[in-house]
């Protein structure tokens, strides 16, 4: 009889128990595709990460090609090539290879919470050259026209060392985030949130519990447990309670 009572109590305990707290690693790393960058806080994948896993302005999405897309406050969408969480840098690329043309249209617009990487800002000079004789090695994609091609040259180069017989100087561009050797790549950085220190310690970064939407903390998810709360779970709890009541009624009263 004692075994029956204990068994019934176990049924009630199990029926009333359920895990409400989410594991501490719900902000786990996700990808849009096999070759895409790992996405985790401060970034999140739209529709796949919970709300508490995203820092404002760091929402990514997956397109039909399984590319990771960063939506900037400009009329262009660029796939993400890589994310360096320690350096707080992200590398984008333009599949159409028309990056400079696009940048010239939006260069003065804000791309907050990001900014162009200072390590990839250059002073360049554009030249309009005849197609009759190619004399420069750095053509600007998507910048050509009937009978001519536009070339970019580092402004620090001495003009005397360049073959410019059939070229006309267009204008100088200062501090442009355009690297002629990699004309399709765009390099961005972010300052806030400062999660680089967490990454350097081998930890993950997340929004601080009971904090504001901008406060962060470093967490070692490998040591974090699962929070549990215990609540009744409807039908199972009722059934277990009835079973226990039946067993108790079957026990003779002690005199």
What is the predicted pLDDT for the residue at 102? 92
Is the pLDDT at 64 greater than 50, yes or no? Answer: yes
Among candidate residues 209, 186, 18, 218, the one with its CA nearest the CA of residue 102: 186
Average pLDDT of the residues in 160-166: 72
Is the pLDDT at 156 greater than 80, yes or no? Answer: yes
- φ and ψ at 51, to 5 degrees? -60, -35
Mean pLDDT of the chain: 77
The H-assigned helical ranges of the chain are 2-16, 99-106, 196-200, 235-249
Is the pLDDT at 24 greater than 70, yes or no? Answer: no
Q: Do residues 133 and 164 touch, judged by C-beta distance below 8 A?
A: no
Reported as a pLDDT band with limits 50, 70 and 90, residue 250 is very low
Q: Which pLDDT tens digit goes with each residue over 200-222? A: 999 988 888 776 667 899 988 66
Overall pTM surpassing 0.75 (yes/no): no
Reported as a pLDDT band with limits 50, 70 and 90, residue 136 is low
- Could you tell me the strand order of the sheet in which 122-130 lies? 148-154, 122-130, 167-176
Average pLDDT of the residues in 186-192: 95
Least confident of 28-32, 148-152, 195-199, 236-240: 236-240
Among candidate residues 3, 44, 13, 8, the one with its CA nearest the CA of residue 26: 44
Q: What is the largest CA-CA distance in the chain?
A: 118
Task: State how far the alpha carbon of 247 is from the alpha carbons of 11, 40, 156, 240, 241, in Å.
Answer: 13, 52, 92, 11, 10
Q: Do residues 152 and 128 touch, judged by C-beta distance below 8 A?
A: no
């Amino acid at each position: 009889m004692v075994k029956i009572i204990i068994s019934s109590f176990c049924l009630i305990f199990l029926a009333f128990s359920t895990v409400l707290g989410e594991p501490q690693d719900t902000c786990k790393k996700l990808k849009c595709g096999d070759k895409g960058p790992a996405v985790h806080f401060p970034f999140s994948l739209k529709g796949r990460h919970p709300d508490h896993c995203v820092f404002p302005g760091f929402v990514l999405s997956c397109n039909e090609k399984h590319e990771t897309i960063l939506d900037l406050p400009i009329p262009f969408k660029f796939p993400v090539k890589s994310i360096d969480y320690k350096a707080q840098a992200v590398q984008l690329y333009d599949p159409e290879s028309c990056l400079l043309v696009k940048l010239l249209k939006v260069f003065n617009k804000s791309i907050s919470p990001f900014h162009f990487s200072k390590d990839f800002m250059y002073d360049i000079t554009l030249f309009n050259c005849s197609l009759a004789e190619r004399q420069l090695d750095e053509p600007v994609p998507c910048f050509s026209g009937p009978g001519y091609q536009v070339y970019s040259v580092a402004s620090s180069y001495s003009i005397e060392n360049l073959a410019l017989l059939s070229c006309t100087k267009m204008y100088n561009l200062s501090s442009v985030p355009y690297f002629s050797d990699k004309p399709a790549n765009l390099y961005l950085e972010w300052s806030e949130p400062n999660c680089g220190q967490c990454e350097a310690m081998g930890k993950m970064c997340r929004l601080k519990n009971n904090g504001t939407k901008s406060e962060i903390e470093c967490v070692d998810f490998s040591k974090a447990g699962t929070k549990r709360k215990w609540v009744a779970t409807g039908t199972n709890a009722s059934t277990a309670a009835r079973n226990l009541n039946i067993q108790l009624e079957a026990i003779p009263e002690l005199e």
